[in-house]
Structure 1
Amino acid sequence: MNFTHWRYFVLIEKDLEKTSRYIEICEDNYSTYSNQIAHSLMASASEFDVLAKSICEKLNPTGTHGSINQYFETINAFAPDVLGTEISLPRFGISFSPLGDWKKGEPPGWWTAYNKVKHHRDTEFKMANLCNLLGSIGSLLIICAKFYHLEKAAEIGSDIAVSSALSDLDGSVGLVQLPSNWYYEW
């Protein structure tokens, strides 16, 4: 199995850890914005886009998957568990559901921020803030885990538990974490 996407996620997560040396990850700082946060937001949201499209093509090969709204239709129909998944940053006492506000015709707030920063950085730069970055990275972790779950199931020819699929990854639990039942028990 190719772990390119997982390794890219780990790099993005390491950037978040470096950022946490200068900006404490807490609710008081959610509106803090910077060039580094913008850079990490662009990388994590773009990778989310790549993986979400790939997942949709696996789940519904005959569907149309050209936009975030079309991704929602497929993910909601074939993998709705993704939408309510909660992630945590235990070191900072934070947990939330980064895809919890994703609805038909209404992308997650961090996705809207990503697009505003991408297309209107001169006027929307404040949207490149810590809150939107955490939403984007948390969503990327969820979608990356689902991607490898589907990859492993296809490889062995039957559905398996998410924890079994994720056991092939490097085994480390990082700064941003999935629910404990998604991880393999060592």
Structure 2
Amino acid sequence: MENYFVGIPPGGKIGGATIWTISDEFLQRVGQAQCCRILSEEPLAIEHHVDWEFVRLSLRPGQYFPRMARPADHKVTASPGFNPGTSAAWSYIQMNNGQLFALVEQIEKVFRVVHPDPFQTMNVFGHEIRNLLMLAAMEVETSWRAILTANGSTGNSTNDYVKLLEPMKLDEYELSLQFYPWVGPIRPFAGWRTSHPTKSLPWYHAYNQVKHDRETHFSSATLRNALEALCGCFVMMCAQFGQPKYWSRSELRTFFNLSKVPSWKPSDFYCRPFEGEEFVAVNHTF
């Protein structure tokens, strides 16, 4: 594969990034005649642009990973970014929007009976809360499997699902609830580890216990676990398809608030395809 670099001007201004490629001892700006001599390789520096940062791209311009959102080269700070394949998944997105909205309605009904207080009521449990936990965790599982499948892989357990943690930066997402700000912040994937991929996610571990042995582990179906599973659903959609304003119903954007998003390296950006070309999906290697 050719070596492509993203050139970032001082300050990393949005819209200021450019794409360059190496030609002999020169760095050539793609799409223009501009060609500058390489002054050093580690770090890469070129004449006339010594105050710029040049970072080698992980993907060729126009390439992207299916169902994985990343910032674009022309919007370098717009995390969680976008995914060029979103339009092809619109049917799934709307199906998931409908399910998420139904789950939000369900937890709102629970909140009318049990006020969400982080110090007093997060450990309450019951049948409706258990049902919410089950459905929300199953939705997260559906997203995990779909992402692996879209990238030519398979997954049937958290040993497989946890492979998504690093490339999608799932543990960096943080949510708050617009109408219940005192409950947050909520980081549904914080602490997820490859060494203990089930138990390191408390809400998922609770779902697993309640699913297999409700009589013994019924008390694990707490309001906290159900709420974190529900937030996990929203995070998975953002991590797949980017900014919520591009894919989600307004009711979901009203309920959830992304308070923190992943920080991406310039090498991970999705760069626009060259003139006359289109975006092309390439599988991520797990």
Q: Is TM > 0.5 for Structure 1 vs Structure 2?
A: yes
SS in 2 for 1:98: coil
Which has the larger share of helix? Answer: 1
Superposed CA deviations along residues 132-165 of structure 1, whole A, max 9, x for unmatched, are 1111001111012233x1xxxxxxxxxxxx22x6
Aligned to 1:84: 172
Residue type of the alignment partner of 1:46: M
Shift of 1:168: 3.3
Contact 2:174-2:260 at 8 Å conserved across structures: no
SS in 2 for 1:87: strand
Alignment TM-score, normalising by the size of structure 1: 0.80
Aligned to 1:71: 161
SS in 1 for 2:185: strand
Q: Mind listing any 5+ residue stretches in structure 2 that lack a counterpart? A: 1-89, 263-286
Mapped to 1, the partners of 2:250 and 2:158 lie a distance apart of: 30
Aligned to 2:248: 169
Which is higher, the Rg of structure 1 or of structure 2? 2
Residue type of the alignment partner of 1:71: Y
Shift of 1:31: 0.8
Mapped to 2, the partners of 1:33 and 1:179 lie a distance apart of: 27
Alignment TM-score, normalising by the size of structure 2: 0.54
Residue type of the alignment partner of 1:171: S
Which has the larger share of strand? Answer: 2
Q: 1:91 to 1:169 in 2, by over 3 A?
A: closer
Aligned to 1:101: 191
C-alpha RMSD over aligned residues: 1.9
Mapped to 1, the partners of 2:174 and 2:230 lie a distance apart of: 12
Residue type of the alignment partner of 2:136: S
Contact 1:141-1:178 at 8 Å conserved across structures: no
Contact 1:17-1:175 at 8 Å conserved across structures: no
The partner residue of 2:106 within 4, 11, 15 is: 15
Contact 2:125-2:219 at 8 Å conserved across structures: yes
Shift of 1:181: 7.1
Contact 2:174-2:261 at 8 Å conserved across structures: no
Mapped to 1, the partners of 2:261 and 2:197 lie a distance apart of: 29
